[in-house]
Amino acid sequence: MSDPMEQFRNAFFEEATELADGMEATLLALDIGAVETEDLHTIFRAAHSIKGNAGTFGFPAIAAFTHQLESVMDPVRQGIRPMTSELREQLLQGVDLIRSHLHHARQGEPLPSRDQQAQDLLVERIRGQETAPALPPPAAPLPPAPSPSAATGFTVRFEAPREAFRRGVNLERIFRDLGRLGTLQAWPDASRLPGLDGLDPEDCHLAWDLRLETSASRAEVEEVFEFVAEGDNLQITPLTPAGQVPPLGEILEAEAGVSPADVREALARQKPLGELLVEAGKVKPEAVSRALDQQQKKRSQTDAATLRVSTEKIDRLVNLVGELVITQAMLAQAAQQAVHSTGEERMASALLQLDRQTRELQERVMGIRMVPVEMVFSRFPRMVHELGKQLGKDLDLTLEGQATELDKTFIEMLVDPMTHLVRNAVDHGIETREERARTGKPATGTIALRAYSRGGHIHIEVKDDGRGLDPERILRKAVERGLLPAGARPGDEELYLLIFEPGFSTAEQVSDVSGRGVGMDVVRQNIRALGGRIEVDSRPGQGSTFRLVLPLTLAILDGLTVRVAEETFVFPLASVLESFQCRPEDIRTVKGDREVINLRGEFIPVIRLQRLLDLHAGPDQESGGRPLLVLVEAEGRRAAMSVDELLGQQQVVIKSLETHYRRVEGISGATILGDGRVALILDVPGILRLEAGAALAQA
Amino acid sequence: MASPQASTQSMHQVLCFALAGEAYGIPILKVREIQAEAVITRIPKAPPYMPGVINLRGAIVPILELRQRFSLGSAPEDTRPVIVIVEVQGRTIGIRVDAVSDVLDLDPAAIKPPPELGAQTQLGREFIAGLASQPGAPGAADQGDGAMLILLDLDRLLSDGELLSLDSATA
């Protein structure tokens, strides 16, 4: 497969897929009421690039089809035909067909006949539109705008090239040509003129700010400057389109003849928001600079150049760094004793530095695995759009915190659960148009996806402003399904979590979209597999929020190390509520051998880890006969696990036991301690299940 | 030495180790390294012949107690066991033996199929790839009954009935 053509083709597929994705995203973001010309250009360019590349690499079918899309976009981007929501649907369908083309071309197969038919139909419809002019006939330019501030046209900043005179460029011609396109206002800007002593009369230092009201396209205006535009000496900005309020400066330019240079200068004198707030004493300077940093970071994230690297390479790097951290810890431990005896200062400080550097290196390497959550979010605009159409609901999707970073593995595993949650929100959460009207809600329902990091966890929310969960109905259903004993009435929050039980669905109608009672339990399973949990907030009539709380990464865990018998174990800190000592008599036996402890009025089962895990008895001084208990919680259940010693709290690198061995019940993995020994990481839910199984076996 | 191919030749290069006074051999190509005694972390409820795991430069590697596997009792106090790290079917496993003695070139012709040992033997016949007489090897098999080397079939040893069930637990 080292055929060079093969490589080029692969590059083509990747690029074309990206272009199609971009085209789709732009289409979905279009506000049909106020279309940005730039967006139309983007869509056109995407189609154009795919067409060109497809032709080059020998995919005439793709080229021919994208040509159709391109030609329907051309009059639209030139403002001759309007962008309609109908056209958007057609173009979206076009994007799907491009994807299908790419997919099948990659496999070396022809387009399936179903898609071929769909394509023929689409092309026919697009063609039909093309011939029926939708806007005022293209021959007649737009009627002159009634008020200058609502005119179409451009503002142009043009700085003549320094050697314009020497090259014999006729600058005057430019203004004449522009004048022919529409109404031209020009403000010369002599501010670039140097002092007399530095002046070379053959250099051109002139610049102009122009305001051109015209129906001509940007390309036509650009053409006028064809021979003098170089680098960034020409900036063409469209005037604010009709129907939108133009900025003050633009009105002043048009009405009062204020020169754009003056407007720019005045704008430059405006103080940045942060500075003003600091002066008013509303915020501390540090907070502003932090916010600016963050903004900068987000900006650079979006335009940073990227590099494709195989995950395998990164994983190897992550492993290696993990080992380095361990070796570093071992070295530090060994050296500590040496330092104590010899008092070698330099060694101690070098080790300290090594410690810092390894930690930073680890952080950075882990960072490579992190990708913005946008990679999951980006699929939802299309999905919500389709679902809304299908279900006849007007929907608005807002995305927030797309730049929040998550481990790559998570991204892949989040797609399914998120899809379920969003579908549910659209289908069950958001009410029908009539119902919303009746309850006085805005006709358009809102789904909000939000991601943020908090306290070492990533939170991802799916929020809707729909009807909310009905605790009473859930209760009825739960009792009906035998999930709750009759007469029980847990708190609302606990009730909400019942919807994640297998086979639970309160939807009155089973719809095409959701409501078959599968899905929500899968959601919980997937999230659990990632070491996360789900929280539900809901207010009847106001909507629900499903919150996925995930660890930052799969590879590192905040742990509490303990000793049980002779062995060291690690509790994931996320499942530890507290640890405490009690008197032996505080632990009572129930039914002979099951032990419980009364903790602030709540009876909590006690699990003897040593017995449960069949460990050889170790140095059996249970801290002077006072049992040491670690209170844990998993899957809504609590238990107190008895340990022999608390060793400390530390971050550990998770290693799989399964690579060379196998899965062990009650153990989620292993890690390597500072002294090089292996410690096992306890799987708290697994231990609870193990205990339940053991109790069952005894009963 | 009837002009064997290079690969055949190397297949018969074996690492010899001692276990309860007997001499065993495994193909050298499967051996990754030899480790001095490491701290074994016990795995809860693991079978006695696979008591736990060690840290092999960052990898978590399980240990096979060969004495336990062959029901040979525990090693006397004065032995200092060694761990032979082998790679079998993509997995890395440490085999704990009493002592490592030598690397030998074996004449393929000197390797005999294992005899019928009867059902009463703890070391099932299926783990034995063959028996070989040692060409005057020093060190091993000084316990009297001659220069006999038991060649182990590692693939079978590590994937026999019980270990296989460990495998299926992973699935």
Using CB atoms, which residue from B55, B61, B170 is nearest to A677? B55
Question: Band of the pLDDT at A50, cuts 50, 70, 90?
Answer: confident
Give the residue from B40, B45, B167 with the most A CB atoms within 10 Å of its CB, the best one to mutate.
B45
Q: What pLDDT, on a 0 to 100 scale, did the predictor assign at position A392?
A: 87
Pick the CATH number of B6-170 from 2.40.50.180, 2.30.110.10, 2.60.40.10, 3.10.105.10: 2.40.50.180
Q: What's the mean per-residue pLDDT of chain A?
A: 79
pLDDT at A522 over 90: no
Q: Does pTM top 0.80 for this prediction?
A: no
pLDDT at A608 over 70: yes
Q: What pLDDT, on a 0 to 100 scale, did the predictor assign at position A253?
A: 72
- Decide which of A543 and A480 is more confident: A543
Q: Do B62 and A670 touch (CB under 8 A)?
A: no
Question: Band of the pLDDT at A620, cuts 50, 70, 90?
Answer: low
pLDDT at A569 over 90: yes
Written as one letter, the residue type at B134 is: Q
Contacts of B86 in chain A (CB under 8 A): none
Contact pairs from chain A to chain B, CB under 8 Å = 77
Reported as type and span, the H/E element at residue A265 is helix A260-269
- Decide which of A339 and A446 is more confident: A446
For residues A394 and A443, the answer to whether their CB atoms sit within 8 Å is yes
pLDDT of B89-137, one tens digit each?
778 899 999 999 888 888 777 788 877 655 545 556 677 888 887 655 4
B43 at A interface, C-beta within 8 A: yes
For residues A238 and A218, the answer to whether their CB atoms sit within 8 Å is yes
Using CB atoms, which residue from B41, B45, B58 is nearest to A613? B45
A506 DSSP assignment: -
Q: What pLDDT, on a 0 to 100 scale, did the predictor assign at position A129?
A: 64
pLDDT of A395-433, one tens digit each?
999 999 988 888 887 888 888 889 889 988 888 888 888
pLDDT of A456-469, one tens digit each?
678 999 999 988 88
pLDDT at A145 over 60: no
Q: Can you tell me the mean pLDDT for A534-560?
A: 84
Using CB atoms, which residue from B45, B59, B170 is nearest to A663? B170
B169 at A interface, C-beta within 8 A: yes
Question: Band of the pLDDT at A146, cuts 50, 70, 90?
Answer: very low
Q: What pLDDT, on a 0 to 100 scale, did the predictor assign at position A201?
A: 79
CATH code linked to domain A148-269: 3.30.70
B53 forms beta bridges with: B41, B62
Architecture of domain A4-131: Up-down Bundle (1.20)
A543 forms beta bridges with: A539
For the ranges A115-129, A483-497, A563-577, B131-145, the maximum mean pLDDT occurs at A563-577
Q: Can you tell me the mean pLDDT for A472-486?
A: 81
Q: What pLDDT, on a 0 to 100 scale, did the predictor assign at position A546?
A: 93
- C-alpha to C-alpha distance for A38 and A385, rounded to whole angstroms: 22
Superfamily name with CATH number, domain A372-551 = Histidine kinase-like ATPase, C-terminal domain (3.30.565.10)
Instruction: Classify residue A609 as exposed, middle or buried by CB count within 10 Å of its CB (0-12, 13-18, 19+).
Output: buried
Written as one letter, the residue type at A669 is: G
In Å, how far are A441, A449, A469, B90 from A464, measured between CA atoms? 13, 9, 11, 49
Minimal-distance CA residue of chain B relative to A668 = B43
pLDDT of A210-241, one tens digit each?
888 888 788 888 888 877 777 677 888 877 76
Count the neighbouring beta carbons within 10 Å of the beta carbon of residue A310. 8
Give the residue from B40, B53, B85, B91 with the most A CB atoms within 10 Å of its CB, the best one to mutate.
B53
Q: Can you tell me the mean pLDDT for A330-337?
A: 76
ipTM: 0.79
Q: What pLDDT, on a 0 to 100 scale, did the predictor assign at position A245?
A: 65
Tell me which of A139-153, A497-511, A633-647 is least confident. Answer: A139-153
Using CB atoms, which residue from B44, B58, B60 is nearest to A615? B44
Give me the residues of chain B with pLDDT under 70, please.
1-11, 116-125, 134-146, 159-171
Q: Which CATH fold topology does A556-698 show?
A: OB fold (Dihydrolipoamide Acetyltransferase, E2P) (2.40.50)
Q: What pLDDT, on a 0 to 100 scale, did the predictor assign at position A142?
A: 44
For residues A677 and B52, the answer to whether their CB atoms sit within 8 Å is no
For residues A635 and A593, the answer to whether their CB atoms sit within 8 Å is no
pLDDT at A602 over 50: yes
